[in-house]
Amino acid sequence: MRIAVDVMGGDHGPATVIDGVALALATSPKLSAVYLVGCREQITARLRSTGCKDARIQIVHASDVLTMEDKPVEALRKKKDSSILRAVDLVKSGNADAVVSCGNTGGLVAAATIRLRPLPGVDRPAIATVIPGPESEFVLLDSGASVECRPLHFLHFAIMGHVYARELLNKPHPRVAILSNGTESNKGNSLTQEASRLCRQADINFTGYVEGHGLFHNQVDVVVCDGFVGNIVLKTIESFANGLVGWLKTELAKNPKRMLGAMLARNALRTIRKRMDPEACGGASLLGLNGHVTKAHGSARERAIMNAIRFTAEAVRHQLQKAVQTEIARTNMKIAGDVGSSHAA
Amino acid sequence: MRIAVDVMGGDHGPATVIDGVALALATSPKLSAVYLVGCREQITARLRSTGCKDARIQIVHASDVLTMEDKPVEALRKKKDSSILRAVDLVKSGNADAVVSCGNTGGLVAAATIRLRPLPGVDRPAIATVIPGPESEFVLLDSGASVECRPLHFLHFAIMGHVYARELLNKPHPRVAILSNGTESNKGNSLTQEASRLCRQADINFTGYVEGHGLFHNQVDVVVCDGFVGNIVLKTIESFANGLVGWLKTELAKNPKRMLGAMLARNALRTIRKRMDPEACGGASLLGLNGHVTKAHGSARERAIMNAIRFTAEAVRHQLQKAVQTEIARTNMKIAGDVGSSHAA
């Protein structure tokens, strides 16, 4: 297992990413190589200062960085030697099995789509993000790669989510639903209506629409939407959770009685926090491309980087993209067959 | 102040709504009349059993009810004598100043739009829902009335939200933003891009895009989106908050130490719960029509109904719809003028 890591572009700088890689190497004997892609000088300095001498590390120099402020496509055209492109190219050339980056999301999606190209039969990639809930988790896709979608893209996202939940979430018959403004079949917009019709024809456990009320009550395993809606939903949840945690801390610190109460109840709060912890998984998958791509959170710290690498190795082991390709080919053929036979009728 | 209340169609039946009205009457001397619209037999029975003899109550019989399962437009055509239509008609005829209902949202929107008609210059109504946060609240619109929108509708929602926040949230210069998948101006979809261009021309404090991350950090007072996205966001927040509260309760009840801690810290939890309490406001406004319409939550209990009525009286006192009409006329003229002068240039 060989993984290329773009060490630039994260909120906490390359040192944090490099230390995360060292953690992953220390705990994952099956990793045979990790490419650290970025400024050679900064990388060697960090490895020297932490005393990391793992022989599986290889440095690939890149002189440019795509910043969070860069407009992806434009910046990629100008910054030919950016770490994100160099890292993706290692997968394209077959030197690495997967790439991990905590840089600019739009940049990673653009670089990966341009260089690796979508899988045969797939038009648009999707970012699959796992969102934990009290009883169960669900995978939300697309959470930001493809902002404007057509019904066929939704069908493909549904298949990708089905494969993802089956392979990585240990759910043999995942419940797949389209996110909408109500569960009744007359709800939704023209896009979700037509997408529902397509999804009903696929060999997946498609349960129709799920509304916002159903997300955290274990009603669904895969939630399908376009990247505009998915990104808003994902960030709204994160914002609300963070706001609530901060607020709770402020309220609990207001007097000694509350502080004592918080101390006694801290394990309850810890259990919830641990399960909601975005660092526990560490990364979202970019699905539908010829190669494995993991987007780690921009604010990822060492542990999150380690988990993103371990999660990526797991996705590679399950040959996630190959499984997606097989299922999409089968679905496309079935839909085309259905269209053919209904034309003949 | 005369308010028509559709007592049918709520999750807890007419008795709860009628008791809520009695609470509102007891605490609001300025209410001169409340019409209880629904099954006369059930209404008189409840008033008799609770001993409510307020002379300001008038009963208006309606033999049909729009249920939560009904498809709005279709059901309104069949159920001519539904309580929702009768209640809206009291506003249309000038007998009431406003209507309150906790029934089927789609039914209320359809009935109100068909009978009251949009304000001059307005194409689509919007549901404005106030969402509380740790530091401040914001108004989200449209949260479910208009599922498919054009850029001009977004502009009108922005104006409606501006007026709402100014009049009812005590914010003289509300910050208005369009909900998007990022704050940079190149983000969003074709709808939000064009809508942004229009909003920049209006005389409001338009701040551009807000993303999900910005919602609960006091960055914005008015959040504009279409009814599809708004409904999903609103329900996702409710679902997440409920899921979290239930989860916290389960964890806190797991052992005596945690239970003691919860007891000592209970005021902290109460403060948060009180502020997040959906019953505190009790209703969302349907803006952009010739008449005041409040949608109370389907699950509203007595206190929520009381608050919805008091809130509605406040909206009428501020002549909310008239203020919306004035601002929209002014904006439409300005936009048309800008288009005219740019054509001349």
User: Residue A344: its pLDDT value, please?
Assistant: 45
A 141-200: CB under 8 A from B:
144, 147-148, 179-182, 184, 186, 188-190
From chain A, the residues in CB contact with B133 under 8 A are 243
- Please state, as a whole number, how many other Cβ atoms lie within 10 Å of the Cβ of residue B292: 25
CA A137, B259, B272: angle at the middle one, nearest 5? 65
How far is it, in rounded angstroms, from Cα A252 to Cα B35?
45
Q: Is B240 on the interface with A (CB under 8 A)?
A: yes
CB contact under 8 A, A213 and B190: no
User: Residue A278: its pLDDT value, please?
Assistant: 63
How far is it, in rounded angstroms, from Cα B299 to Cα B258?
31
* Nearest CA distance, A94 vs chain B (angstrom): 33
**At residue A159, does pLDDT exceed 50?**
yes
Q: How many residues does chain A have?
A: 345
CA torsion sign, B113 to B119 to B122 to B128?
Answer: negative
* Nearest CA distance, B233 vs chain A (angstrom): 6
From chain A, the residues in CB contact with B181 under 8 A are 144, 147, 227-228, 231-232
Residue A30 corresponds to which amino acid? K
* Nearest CA distance, B45 vs chain A (angstrom): 34
How far is it, in rounded angstroms, from Cα A170 to Cα A247?
35
Q: Is A49 on the interface with B (CB under 8 A)?
A: no
CB contact under 8 A, A228 and B271: no
User: Residue B342: its pLDDT value, please?
Assistant: 52
The structure tokens listed for B1 are: 């102040």
CB contact under 8 A, A232 and B217: no
Q: Are strands A137-141 and A292-296 parallel, antiparallel or unpaired?
A: unpaired
Contacts of B64 (CB under 8 A, 6+ apart): B79, B80, B81, B82, B83
Query: How many contacts does A have with B, using Cβ atoms within 8 A?
Result: 183
Token pair 């102040």 is at which residue?
B1
CB contact under 8 A, B216 and A240: yes
How far is it, in rounded angstroms, from Cα B251 to Cα A269?
8
Q: Alpha helix (H) ranges present in chain A?
A: 13-27, 40-50, 72-78, 83-92, 105-116, 151-168, 190-201, 227-252, 256-264, 266-276, 302-317, 320-344
CB contact under 8 A, A268 and B251: yes
ipTM of the complex: 0.91
User: Residue B339: its pLDDT value, please?
Assistant: 61
CB contact under 8 A, A260 and B257: no
**At residue A342, does pLDDT exceed 60?**
no
Taking CA atoms, B23 is separated from B19, B34, B121, B296, in Å, by 6, 12, 38, 15
User: Residue B133: its pLDDT value, please?
Assistant: 83
Q: Is A211 on the interface with B (CB under 8 A)?
A: yes
Q: Are strands B98-101 and A57-61 parallel, antiparallel or unpaired?
A: unpaired
From chain B, the residues in CB contact with A228 under 8 A are 180-181, 188-189, 229
* Nearest CA distance, B258 vs chain A (angstrom): 4
DSSP B82-123: BHHHHHHHHHHTTS-SEEEE-S-HHHHHHHHHHHH-BPTT--
Facing A234 at nearest CB: one of B148, B212, B247: B212
pTM for this structure? 0.92
Three-state DSSP at A141 gives: strand
Closest CA to A290 of A68, A99, A135, A103: A99
The structure tokens listed for B305 are: 């109904």
Q: Are B242 and A241 in contact (CB under 8 A)?
A: no
Confidence of residue A341 (pLDDT cuts 50, 70, 90): low
How far is it, in rounded angstroms, from Cα A274 to Cα A265?
15
Closest CA to B294 of B168, B137, B151, B190: B168
Contacts of A120 (CB under 8 A, 6+ apart): A325, A329
Q: Is B237 on the interface with A (CB under 8 A)?
A: yes
User: Residue B281: its pLDDT value, please?
Assistant: 67
DSSP 8-state code for residue A214:
G
DSSP A146-170: -SS--HHHHHHHHHHHHHHHHHHS-
What is the gyration radius of the CA atoms in chain B, in angstroms?
A: 21
Q: By percentage, how much of chain A surpasses pLDDT 90?
A: 71
Token pair 């709402």 is at which residue?
B164
Facing B239 at nearest CB: one of A216, A235, A254: A216
The structure tokens listed for B163 are: 């007026």
User: Residue B344: its pLDDT value, please?
Assistant: 45
Query: Could you tell me the strand order of the sheet in which B205-210 lies?
Result: B57-61, B33-38, B2-6, B98-101, B292-296, B283-287, B126-132, B137-141, B222-224, B175-179, B205-210
Three-state DSSP at A139 gives: strand
How far is it, in rounded angstroms, from Cα B192 to Cα A148?
12
Confidence of residue A345 (pLDDT cuts 50, 70, 90): very low
- What residues are paired with A16 via a beta bridge? none
Q: Which helix (H) or strand (E) holds A206?
A: strand A205-210
From chain A, the residues in CB contact with B189 under 8 A are 147-148, 228
DSSP A51-104: T---TTEEEEE--B---TTS-HHHHHHH-TTBHHHHHHHHHHTTS-SEEEE-S-
* Nearest CA distance, A255 vs chain B (angstrom): 9
Burial zone of B20 (CB within 10 Å; 0-12 exposed, 13-18 middle, 19+ buried): buried
* Nearest CA distance, A196 vs chain B (angstrom): 16
- Interval A237-293: pLDDT, tens: 988 888 888 888 888 888 999 999 888 988 888 888 777 776 666 789 999 999 999
Local mean pLDDT, 10-residue blocks, chain B (345 residues): 93 94 93 96 96 94 87 86 95 97 91 95 95 89 94 97 96 97 90 96 96 92 97 92 84 90 87 74 89 92 93 94 95 80 49
* Nearest CA distance, A243 vs chain B (angstrom): 6
How far is it, in rounded angstroms, from Cα B104 to Cα B67?
6
